[in-house]
Structure 1
Amino acid sequence: MLKKILKWTGITIGSLLVIVLVFYAVAYFNTEARINKVYDVKLDKLVIPTDSVSYNEGKHIAENRGCLGCHGQNLAGGIVFFDETSPLGILATANLTSGKGGIHYTDEDWVRALRHGLGKDNKSVWFMPSNEVCNISNHDMAALICFLKQEPPVDKMVPAKSITPLTRVLVYLDKFQLFPAEIIDHNAVYKDTVLPAVTAAYGEYLTTSCQGCHGAQMKGNPPHGDNEPPIPNISSTGNVGNWKDTDFITALRTGNTPEGKQLTDYMPWRALTFTDDELKAIYLYLHGLK
C-alpha cells in the first residue's frame, strides 16, 4: 500500500513539474517574441526648434509629464526600479544625455521613442511610459525634444536591464506592463497644436501621464510597493470631488489638503510646475469623472 502511495505521489509531483515547465516554456517564448518584435512604423517628420522659448516650453512639459521625475533633473537617469536583490530583475532609467553611458539620439530616434515607445532597433523599450506622452501635439513634442536635446552631457553608466522568470510569467499573464509599444496606436495622427484653455478637455490632455499611477479613470490603484500608501482616487468620487479649485491648487502647491493631511512624497507634487490655469483645467477634468 505504501509503495502505491509513493508511486502515485511521485507521478503527481512529476506531472505537476511537467505542467509548470511547459507553462514557463510558453511564457518564456512568448515574452522573448515580444522583446524581439520589430515594429514597422512611419515616423512623424517634426522640425525641432532650438530657440529659448521652445526650450522653456519643453522643460515645462518634461517637468509635468514625469520625464524629470524618472530620469532626474539632469536627465542622467540611473534611478533604480529593480536591482539585483529584486525578484523581478534589474531595471533602471536610461541616461538621456549625450554623455558616456547616454543614448545619443537623433531627432528621429526621439520621435521613435516618445511617439511609438521604440528604441533605435524598432523594438519596444522597457517600462518607459511612452503611451502616456505619445498623444501630445506636434508643437509640444517638438518643444519637448528641443529641451531633451539641449541638456548638457553627463557621464553616467546605467545597469543593463534584465528580467527574471517571475517577471516573464507576470508579463505573459498581463499582470505587468513592460512593453509600451504594445499599447500604442502606431497609426494615430496627432494634432499640430493644442491651445491652452481652462477647460476639462485641456485638463484631460494634461493628465494622461497621471494615468500610470491613478488609473485610466483616476480611480486610484493599490500601492506600487511595500511600505507605500495606496494610490488615491482623484476623480469626483474621491476626496478631490469635495474640493474647490482653490483647494486643489493649494494642495498641489503646498502639499496640504483641505482635510489637513500632507500629500505623500510618493506623489511628485514638488516637481510639478503647472500654472494656475493648467491646474484649474485639470480640476475641471477630474470633477467630470463620475
Structure 2
Amino acid sequence: MIKTLKVLGAALGCALPLAWSASAHAADDALVQRGAYIAKLGDCAACHTLPHGKPFAGGLPMTTPMGKIYTTNITPDPDNGIGHYTEEDFARALREGVAKDGHNLYPAMPYPSYTKINDDDTKALYAYFMHGVAPVAQANRASDIPWPLSMRWPLKFWNMVFLEKGVYQDKPGKDVAWNRGAYLIQGLGHCGSCHTPRGIAFQEKALDETGSAYLTGGVLDNWFAANLTGEQNVGLGRWSDDDLKAFLKTGANAHASAFGSMTSVINNSTQATNDTDIAAMATYLKSLPAVGGNGAAPYSYDPQATKVSLNRPANNAGARVYTAYCMHCHGVDGRGFAPMLAPLAGNPNVLEHDPSSLINVTLNGTEDLVIQGIPAPYPMPKYSPVLNDRQIADVLTFIRTGWNNGAPAVSAEEVAKLRKATQAAR
C-alpha cells in the first residue's frame, strides 16, 4: 500500500508540472489569439503590409506634406523588426510614438489614437507580434523627406503640444455599448486619423467627440475621408444602424460604397470585427451630433431635370460622358444597383463640397473589396488613360448637379492637379 502511494505520488509529481505547462501554453495561445483580433481592430496590416508583400514587413509609402515616409517592419525579426523590443518598449512606441532606440515616430503612425489602448489590449498585441507573426528579414526604407525637415527631434515638441497621453476612460452616464464603441473608434480604430481635419502642424483638430471638428471629414493622401457625424447630407444622418453595420462589414450599403483607403480598412479590419463590436461602433457613431456640411436642407431625390439632360443625344458635355462611360453601372436614374454598384444620387461622397475623392476614384479606380475571400464583382475602373481633365471635370459636374445633388462644379484645373499628385505618389 505504501509502495502504491509512493508510485501515485511520483506520478502526480510528474503530471502536475506537465498539466501546469499545458495550461500555461493554452493561456499563451489565447493571449496571442486575442492579440491577433486586436491587430485586426487596429488595422495594423493596412499600413505595415505591402500589396502582395509579407505580413507586417513594412515598406508601404505614405505621403505627408513634407515628403514620403515608408512604414516600418514590425515583425519579430531581431535586425529589421521589433524582435528586441520588450513589452515596455512596445507600449512606448504604440502609445507615445517613441522607438526602442529613442527616436520619435512620425505622427502618420496613429499613436495619438493608440495612446488610448488599455494595458490588457497592449499586452495581447505584444504577445501576437512576438509569437503569432513570422519574422521577416526585410530592411526598413529611409524616408524621402529632405534634410533638415527629416530631423526627428522637433517631434518631441509636437508631442508636448498635441499628444494627450492616457488610456480611454469610460464616460459616466454612457452605457457599455457606447463606451466600447468610443474606445474602438477613438483608439484602436483610429478613425480620427483620416476622418478628422488636420491643422497646420498635421495635428488632428480634435481627438474625441468633445471637439467640434471630430470626424467631420478631412483630406489625406489625396482622398477626402467622409464626415462621420449625424449631418444629413454628407454625414451619416440618413443612415440607419443597420446601414452602418452593413457598410462596416461589407463596404457597401444603399447609400455608398467604400473606395480609396477605406477599402483596406474593410478588407483588413472591420469585416473581421465581431458583431458585438460592430454594433458598439455603430452606437457611438450614430450618437454624434450633426456637424459640417453646407447647411442645405436634407437631400431629396428628384430625377426630372437630369432625365432631360440624358435624352439621346445627351444635351451637355458631362451627360455625354456619363452615357458613354457611367450609365451602364450607375443607371439613368443615378441610383446604381446598391449594394453591388454604388448610387450617385444622394451619395454623401457626391454631395461633399470637397471633390477630391470623386476625382481620385474616377482617375485611378479603386482596389477590390474582398469580403470573406470573394472580390467584389464590379470594382470602379480607372479612367485616367481614357478621359482627359476636361471630360472628367464635365462628368463629375454633371453627377454633382444631377438628381438634385446640388454640389459645386468641378474644374479641369482641379482634375489636373490631382492627376499630377496621384501619379507622383506612385
TM-score range, shorter chain: 0.5 to 0.7
Query: CA 1:179/1:157 → structure 2, altered by over 3 Å: closer, same or farther?
Result: farther
Counterpart Cα distance in 2 of 1:87 and 1:250: 34
What are the ranges of 5 or more consecutive residues in structure 2 without an aligned counterpart?
1-25, 170-174, 197-205, 207-213, 290-426
Counterpart Cα distance in 2 of 1:167 and 1:160: 13
Counterpart Cα distance in 2 of 1:283 and 1:98: 34
- Check whether the contact 1:130–1:180 (CA below 8 A) recurs between aligned residues: no
- Superposition deviation, residue 167 in structure 1: 5.3
Pairing 1:224–2:221 present: yes
The residue type equivalent to 2:118 in the other structure is S
Equivalent in the alignment of 2:228: 234
Pairing 1:158–2:135 present: no
The residue type equivalent to 2:119 in the other structure is N
What are the ranges of 5 or more consecutive residues in structure 1 without an aligned counterpart?
1-48, 192-196
Equivalent in the alignment of 1:95: 73
Match of 1:207 among 176, 180, 185: 185
* TM-score normalised by L of structure 2: 0.48
The residue type equivalent to 2:31 in the other structure is S
Counterpart Cα distance in 2 of 1:266 and 1:189: 26
- Check whether the contact 2:178–2:280 (CA below 8 A) recurs between aligned residues: yes
Equivalent in the alignment of 1:77: 58
- Check whether the contact 1:69–1:271 (CA below 8 A) recurs between aligned residues: yes
Equivalent in the alignment of 1:117: 97
What secondary structure, in the 3-state scheme, does the structure 2 residue paired with 1:202 have?
helix
Counterpart Cα distance in 1 of 2:260 and 2:247: 13
Counterpart Cα distance in 2 of 1:116 and 1:50: 28
- Superposition deviation, residue 50 in structure 1: 6.7
Q: Which has the larger radius of gyration?
A: 2
- Superposition deviation, residue 136 in structure 1: 1.3
Counterpart Cα distance in 1 of 2:105 and 2:126: 17
Equivalent residue runs for 1:271-286 within 5 Å = 271-272=268-269, 273-286=272-285
- Check whether the contact 2:118–2:167 (CA below 8 A) recurs between aligned residues: no
Equivalent in the alignment of 2:114: 133
% of aligned pairs identical?
Answer: 28
- Superposition deviation, residue 281 in structure 1: 1.0
Query: CA 1:163/1:53 → structure 2, altered by over 3 Å: closer, same or farther?
Result: same
What secondary structure, in the 3-state scheme, does the structure 1 residue paired with 2:237 have?
helix
- Superposition deviation, residue 184 in structure 1: 2.6
Equivalent residue runs for 1:1-290 within 5 Å = 51-72=28-49, 74-82=55-63, 88-99=66-77, 100-104=79-83, 105-126=85-106, 127-150=108-131, 151-164=133-146, 183-186=162-165, 188=166, 199-208=177-186, 209-215=190-196, 216=206, 217-225=214-222, 228=223, 230-237=224-231, 238-259=234-255, 261-267=256-262, 268-272=265-269, 273-290=272-289
The residue type equivalent to 1:91 in the other structure is I
Per-residue CA distance 1:102-144 (angstroms, 9 max, x = gap): 2332222102111221112333212321111121111111111
The residue type equivalent to 2:94 in the other structure is L
- Check whether the contact 1:198–1:277 (CA below 8 A) recurs between aligned residues: no
Looking at both structures, which has the greater relative contact order when contacts are Cα pairs under 8 Å and sequence separation is at least 6?
1
Report how many aligned residue pairs link the two structures: 226
Of the structure 1 ranges 138-147 and 104-113, higher mean CA displacement relative to structure 2 is found in: 104-113
The residue type equivalent to 1:118 in the other structure is V
* TM-score normalised by L of structure 1: 0.68
Aligned-residue RMSD, C-alpha: 3.2
